Chain A
Amino acid sequence: MSRQWIVHAAGPGLTLQDQGRPGYLPVGLSRGGAIDQLALFEGAALLRQDVSMPAIEMAGMGGTFEATADVRIALTGAPMQATVNDQRLEWHASHHLPRGSLLKIGAVKAGNYGYLHTGGGLDVPLQLGARSTHLGAGIGAPLTAGDQIAIGEDQGPEFAGARLRIEERFHGGEVRMVPSLQTHFFAEDERKRFEATTFQRDMRGNRMGVRFVPDGEAFRSDAGLSVLSEVIIPGDVQISGDGTPFVLLAECQTTGGYPRIGSVIPSDIPRIAQAQPGCAMHFRFITLEEAVTIEQNEAIRRQALASTCEAMRRNPHDIPDLLAYQLISGVTAGDNPERTKS
């Protein structure tokens, strides 16, 4: 039987996501891809595979999955309830999953978007150079119960049972932004007030963007209503007609007419995307030079994530059928001669 996932139950927001499809701005198609790009790097580090492989993004709620072969998985992004055959699975970690076992992923415990990564990735066809679903453009569609997803050939089937210590990004906090093409539409006082304001993440939010509500007065630009539509970049903080900020994310429009006060740097977009409704958020301007340095350091950190993975130590009392578990899933990674043949 071919290696695949069978989706037995699916929450409403399950989509295949990767690093997205750059290069289609001139024809009106935004990059898309995983809302929390950092999670893709974490999944790749935990499975020691390439970051370009697609994962299953789960908005708010997971699903029930069965693999038709032994697989490795990693769970990243917003932590969710997860069990395999009713045994609890650690999040921000990689695991061996024996063929036929039922992986159940429930609701988020914090944050919004969790990710299920598979050793070997998912063997779905490229569409316009990527495998990610773009809901706004109608490329692909959410996963539903009964779907079957082919699993790619796993180049490193031994390695799993690792965990990553991650920097918390699921409860709001402070994000940094750079001045951008329309920041000059906002008076300096208005920009200062923006930085001093506490915002609450609104109920309204999806893969296109997220609304924030200020604890004080609405914001206004000096540009008036006659501004020409201009290029939008994910991370842009647009001040909508009601004077509240809307931070644009992976599936944003490619152009827009609302003035934008600044642009959240890519390193901090996961914090925006993962803030649950009600979370408090602050915005702070940094210079372009500071942003470049931050992004350079973050790129280096992401490349080195694999070296920071730690082996998980398990308490044998937590494993009900210890013998079977070790035989099938090989948590000792790499020293089981029977596993090297496949």
Chain B
Amino acid sequence: MTTDNPEPIIRTAGYDGFLISFGETLSEPANRAAIAYRAAVECANWPGVVETTTSLVSAYLRFEATRFSHDEMRGRLEALLTQSDWYQASWPEGRKFWRVPAVYGTDLAPQLDEAAAMAGLSGKEAVDSLSQMRVRVQTIGFAPGQPYLGSLSPEWNIPRQTALTDRVPVGALTLAIRQFVLFSVSAPTGWRHVGQTALKLFQPDMDDPFMFRPGDEVVFESVSAEHLARCDDRYGGARFELIR
């Protein structure tokens, strides 16, 4: 396994940042490496670091480039890379496991049957498959608090639609290329709308406005529309426990 992993690559990002990439395609080890490496950068608390984040397979660091040199910062990043086999790193602590109620199909999520057919499954088989899969937040982006989750089992490697759906509602669970995207805003999309949750992923007026963090794990449990209608608390009926 280790030998299959590419060498991490450090590139500059803009005039005041670095991107540390652990792969060119999405894989679980590369995603975990990026998240673990970024956690280690945060932990190291180097002077001059302004902010850090992760994408699917990369960690990003922005620093005060007018006060600290690129050579100095790159040296630190390289030294940290050699300190560990990041592809074998364990997940950072403090992650949560969420159980999220979702309605699959019906007029709330009208593209379940279409997606199921593309995966070679009946509607019921699709719900059984999707509602039992434990997926991980691979990254958050596009809109505030909006997670990309995966990886779904191989049969769900279905392409995005060529035409966009005009608009999916907030809390829409959409699917393509072995990933879920759970919408924090109402937006047009090429992903197929297979489930509907009551989640509000970004609530700017709350103390902690964001539900998910990269590395969190989620199961979207199948519930009825009547049940979902009662999920009106701040977590949209979702419950979490800390992963230990």
Q: Which residues of B contact A (CB under 8 A)?
A: 11-17, 19, 24-26, 50-58, 60, 62, 65-66, 70, 139-146, 184-185, 202, 204-205, 209-210, 212-214
Contact = CB atoms under 8 A, between A and B. Distances in A.
Given A25-B53, A231-B53, A292 B12 contact: no
B214 to A, nearest CB: 6
Interface stretch (A78-86, A178-186, A191-199): A178-186
A128 B209 contact: yes
14 contacts: A25-B51, A25-B53, A28-B143, A28-B146, A128-B204, A138-B185, A229-B139, A231-B60, A233-B17, A253-B142, A253-B143, A255-B142, A291-B15, A295-B15
Given A137-B204, A292-B15, A27 B142 contact: no
A290 to B, nearest CB: 9
A296 interface: yes
Contacts of B70: 288, 292
A22 interface: yes
A3 B13 CA distance: 44
Contacts of B16: 266, 295
B184 A228 contact: no
Q: Which of A22, A26, A263, A299 has the largest number of chain B CB atoms within 10 A?
A: A26
B232 to A, nearest CB: 19
A41 to B, nearest CB: 14
B39 to A, nearest CB: 10
B15 A181 contact: no
B66 A299 contact: yes
Given A25-B53, A25-B60, A137 B14 contact: no
Nearest to A183: B11
A137 B140 CA distance: 14
Contacts of A296: 66
Contacts of A139: 204
Indicate the size class of the contact surface on chain A.
Answer: 35 or more
A236 interface: yes
B66 A295 contact: yes
A295 B65 contact: yes
Given A23-B51, A228-B25, A255-B141, A263 B13 contact: yes
A178 B11 CA distance: 12
B53 A26 contact: yes
Given A26-B214, A138-B185, A138-B204, A288 B12 contact: yes
Contacts of B184: 28
B13 A231 contact: yes
Interface string A22-36: 111111110000000
A325 B57 CA distance: 63
B142 A254 contact: yes
B204 A253 contact: no
